[in-house]
Amino acid sequence: MSGLLWLYPLREKLGDRPGDRDIMRRTFAHWSSIQNKWHGYSFAAASSMSSVMDAPEEALRYLKIFLDGTVAADTRRTPDTMYREGANLAIESPITAAQSIVDILLQGDHGVLKVFPSVSSTWRDASFESLRAEGAFLVDASRRHGATEWIRVHSEAGEPLTLQHVIAGPIEVRDARGRQLPWRAEGPGTIRLGRGGTAIVTRRGARPGLGAPRCARRPGNPGMGNAVTPHR
């Protein structure tokens, strides 16, 4: 699997470049053809790789294989969320799977922040709060009935931002006080925002409630982001 570090997590190729995309897919297909040599953590890594290759259903499928406790090469996730390799218990593989969930919901990709980039069509409603993103951004977002409702981004370092929001139709961008902010289009579903502060992106004319997103909250370090769950 170390031979795929360039694909993930280093992400040295770009999925929107046809040549890169072909190399990514062919290499991944070769690796995934020898699953008899995989361990449990391989499925979590495959989920993240699928997410960066814009394959959301595959990303969720691989993640579920790991989370369901499937035994692979005498390794498996245990019911207490640890990980067993033979007789040894470890914790790094469940942490890898947690990162796989984040990659489904939020990605920083070569200077572009992508919100809900690889969410399965079966996750009709989902939300998260205070996830940290590349570039020192804190992000909240809500998805309902299979579409993004709103995104709130706070810049801790005062940097500009290119945001892939994929909100259908015309949008509005406002600050934390409801005042309109300048922005420019960078492509379908992608905008460029100015430096600093907080930006809230919604459909034009929409005024959704912007309290805590509708995610299941669990105690933890708020700096690492709260737990994320799809809403059934």
Where a domain ends, among 42, 73, 104?
Answer: 104
**Is residue 3 very low, low, confident or very high in pLDDT (cuts 50, 70, 90)?**
confident
Structure confidence by residue, pLDDT tens digits, 196-215: 899 999 999 887 776 655 54
Structure confidence by residue, pLDDT tens digits, 58-117: 999 999 999 999 999 999 999 998 999 999 999 999 999 999 999 999 999 888 999 999
> What's the sign of the alpha-carbon dihedral 226, 228, 231, 232?
negative
**3-class SS at 4?**
helix
Q: Work out how many domains the chain is built from and give that number.
A: 2
Helices (H) and strands (E) in the chain, counts: 4, 14
Domain that holds residue 99: 2-104
Where a domain ends, among 74, 104, 134?
Answer: 104
Same domain, 31 and 117: no
pTM, two decimal places: 0.87
Same domain, 182 and 225: yes
Same domain, 120 and 226: yes
Where a domain ends, among 75, 104, 133?
Answer: 104
The helix or strand, by DSSP H or E, that contains position 64, with its residue range, turns out to be helix 56-67
Same domain, 93 and 125: no
Q: How far, in Å, CA of 41 to CA of 35, rounded?
A: 12
Q: How far, in Å, CA of 188 to CA of 139, rounded?
A: 21
Same domain, 146 and 171: yes
Same domain, 99 and 159: no
Q: How far, in Å, CA of 229 to CA of 215, rounded?
A: 6
DSSP class per residue in 136-171: TEEEEEEEETTEEEEEEEEESS---EEEE---SS-E
Same domain, 133 and 83: no
